[in-house]
Amino acid sequence: MPLVQIDLERSLAERLGERIGDGIHQALVDALEMDSADRFQIFRTHAPQEIVFDPA
């Protein structure tokens, strides 16, 4: 069972978290032929200032 950990800005997780999780799961099923019933995801939400990245 693969474990997927997803870090998202809190408001994004609230709006799209389920769709993002579904998309990641479907990609694993398609690419790795993983059993579609085998889903283990952890979402960690953060305030906007807690995620720092270079947008380029």
Residues 6+ apart with CB under 8 A from 25: 4, 36, 39, 41
Place of tokens 């690419």: 31
Sign of CA dihedral 29, 53, 9, 1: positive
- Indicate if the pLDDT at residue 2 is higher than 90: no
Q: What is the pLDDT of residue 55?
A: 84
Q: Which residue has the higher pLDDT, 21 or 1?
A: 21
Mean pLDDT on 29-35 = 94
Place of tokens 């995620």: 51
Domain count, the chain: 1
- Indicate if the pLDDT at residue 9 is higher than 90: yes
- Asked if the structure places residue 8 within a domain, the reply is yes
Supply the range of the domain harboring residue 33: 4-50
Q: How many angstroms separate the CA atoms of 35 and 42, rounded?
A: 18
- Asked if the structure places residue 55 within a domain, the reply is no
> Is 47 in contact with 11 (CB distance < 8 Å)?
no
